[in-house]
């Protein structure tokens, strides 16, 4: 960092402060993680200097002797890790990856059916404010009002009635495992393609701690930076018969030159994910989710669906006489970083919803296990029970900063 320091001390200081924030706080945002130093190093290389529109062996600029090799390695590693027939590693992130899939298979005005945003779906699964809701006839499915679970019978009925061209499974805030086979049966019955967005749980799939959608879905998208613990980026995995359509949709359909430094960092992350240590990590992420759920419920919190099967928990905090937003703000002050989140059928507005979302991918990367997760649950309860007790919050923040010193995360040496 010496060169940043001398060229731009202002940005240098801010990077150091963010590094310290990530070290000192308990990061429970379900989509975040800590990447390794190796992944960080790959993102900060001269690969950022190169333009490479096209694909290996078919580029529109010369000088691709090295980039072609890097992209091919990333693709082969992703194919092996997930058992996919074809992979495109060029999408800049999850939203462009999803839109590229729509571009490959849909025409404006076609019907798509995805999980409703307030029920845990992603913006790009058909939310009206997103391009997916503006350019397509986006229908959305709700969760079961009583259980908070996906209601496959209701989705089947809705799909048979609205005849979507594509059904989207996957989520940003659903704490349970999805029955991909059931989704495929529904899609086949109404003649739809099945897309699975596995961004949140891709690391669990890679680590064999979650069922894989690959055998069932026509196409799978994922970011690479959540539970998969790679750089900010995304990929699309599909059957060979869709390879040409997907590649054409990503480039030239959606994007220009791929971010080669990101592609290299992805390759490094896929190598890191392809071993027994990563399997242990993925299992521990799920185990930590279960422990945190138990600890939260023992402290009187209401968990949507009554628990978790993956890395995330959705907690209705209103029984503690607080909304999701003030709860998240108080937790942040205390050194526990979460996001406020709508719960299914939330009676409150999205800007001030009933819930908070918690995730265990990042804290598991820094070595938290059962004892630590129980302690985290206790701290969350203490803060949410007295969100205006500034003295208590300052005390907990100091305890957390001291506690975190014993759990140095990957990629940070403070």
Residue 277 C-beta: closest distance to ligand DSN, Å: 25
Residue 153 C-beta: closest distance to ligand DSN, Å: 27
The greatest distance separating any two alpha carbons of the chain, rounded to the nearest whole angstrom, comes to 63
Q: Is 70 or 169 the residue whose CB approaches ligand DSN more closely?
A: 169
Q: Is 264 or 358 the residue whose CB approaches ligand DSN more closely?
A: 358
How many residues in the shown chain lie near ligand DSN by CB under 6 A? 4
Give the C-alpha separation, 6 to 134, whole Å.
47
Encoding tokens for residue 386? 């007295």
Among the listed residues 197, 218, 272, 346, the single catalytic one is 197
Give the C-alpha separation, 60 to 72, whole Å.
17
DSSP one-letter code for 190: T
Residue 359 C-beta: closest distance to ligand DSN, Å: 9
Encoding tokens for residue 325? 């937003």
Residue 225 C-beta: closest distance to ligand DSN, Å: 10
145 is catalytic: no
DSSP one-letter code for 387: T
Q: Is 33 or 172 the residue whose CB approaches ligand DSN more closely?
A: 172
Separation in Å, CA 354 to CA 3, 116, 159, 170, 331 = 46, 17, 29, 22, 15
128-131: long-range contacts at Cβ-Cβ below 8 A with a sequence spacing of 24 or more? 130/95, 131/99
102 is catalytic: no
Query: What does the CA dihedral 81, 124, 246, 93 come to, rounded to 10 degrees?
Result: -60
360 is catalytic: no
Tell which one of 31, 130, 221, 263 touches ligand DSN (CB under 6 A). 31
24 is catalytic: no
Tell which one of 23, 43, 54, 94 touches ligand DSN (CB under 6 A). 94
Tell which one of 132, 172, 341, 354 touches ligand DSN (CB under 6 A). 172
411 touches ligand DSN by CB under 6 A:
no
Among the listed residues 50, 51, 283, 332, the single catalytic one is 51
288 touches ligand DSN by CB under 6 A:
no
Preceding peptide of 252 cis, ω within 30°: yes
Q: Which of 244, 293, 268 is nearest to 45 (CA)?
A: 268
CB neighbours of residue 134 within 10 Å: 12
Among the listed residues 16, 50, 59, 232, the single catalytic one is 232
19 is catalytic: no
197 is catalytic: yes
Active site residue ranges: 51, 53, 197, 223, 226, 232
- Residues contributing to the site for ligand DSN (CB under 6 A): 31, 94, 122, 172
């Amino acid at each position: 960092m010496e060169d940043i320091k001398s060229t731009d001390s202002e940005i240098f200081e801010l990077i150091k402060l963010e590094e310290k924030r990530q070290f000192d706080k308990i990061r429970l945002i379900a989509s975040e993680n800590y990447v390794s130093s190796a992944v960080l190093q790959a993102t900060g290389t001269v690969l950022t200097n190169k333009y490479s529109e096209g694909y290996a062996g078919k580029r529109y600029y010369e000088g691709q002797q090295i980039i072609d090799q890097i992209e091919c390695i990333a693709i082969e590693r992703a194919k092996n890790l997930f058992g996919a027939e074809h992979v495109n590693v060029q999408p800049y992130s999850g939203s462009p990856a999803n839109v590229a899939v729509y571009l490959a298979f849909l025409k404006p005005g076609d019907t798509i059916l995805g999980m409703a945003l307030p029920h845990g779906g992603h913006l790009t699964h058909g939310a009206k404010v997103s391009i997916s809701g503006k350019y397509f006839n986006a229908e959305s499915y709700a969760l079961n009002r009583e259980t908070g679970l996906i209601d496959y019978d209701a989705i089947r009925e809705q799909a048979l009635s609205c005849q979507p061209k594509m059904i989207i499974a996957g989520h940003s805030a659903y704490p349970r495992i999805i029955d991909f086979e059931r989704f495929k049966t529904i899609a086949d019955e109404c003649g739809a393609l099945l897309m699975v967005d596995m961004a949140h749980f891709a690391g669990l799939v890679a680590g064999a701690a979650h069922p894989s959608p690959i055998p069932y879905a026509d196409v799978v998208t994922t970011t690479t930076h959540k539970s998969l613990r790679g750089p900010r980026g995304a990929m699309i995995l599909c059957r060979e018969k869709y390879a040409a359509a997907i590649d054409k949709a990503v480039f030239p359909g959606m994007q220009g030159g791929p971010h080669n430094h990101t592609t290299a960092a992805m390759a490094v992350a896929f190598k890191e994910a392809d071993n027994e240590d990563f399997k242990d990590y993925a299992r521990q992420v799920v185990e930590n989710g279960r422990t945190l759920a138990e600890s939260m419920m023992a402290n009187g919190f209401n968990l949507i669906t009554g628990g978790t099967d993956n890395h995330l928990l959705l907690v209705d905090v209103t029984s503690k006489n607080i909304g999701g937003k003030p709860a998240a703000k108080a937790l942040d002050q205390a050194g526990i970083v979460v996001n406020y989140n709508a719960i299914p059928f939330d009676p409150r507005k999205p800007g001030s919803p009933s819930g908070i979302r918690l995730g265990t991918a990042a804290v598991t990367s820094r070595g938290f296990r059962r004892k630590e997760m129980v302690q985290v649950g206790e701290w969350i309860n203490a803060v949410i029970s007295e969100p205006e007790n500034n003295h208590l919050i300052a005390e907990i923040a100091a305890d957390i900063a001291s506690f975190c010193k014993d759990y140095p995360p990957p990629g940070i040496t403070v």
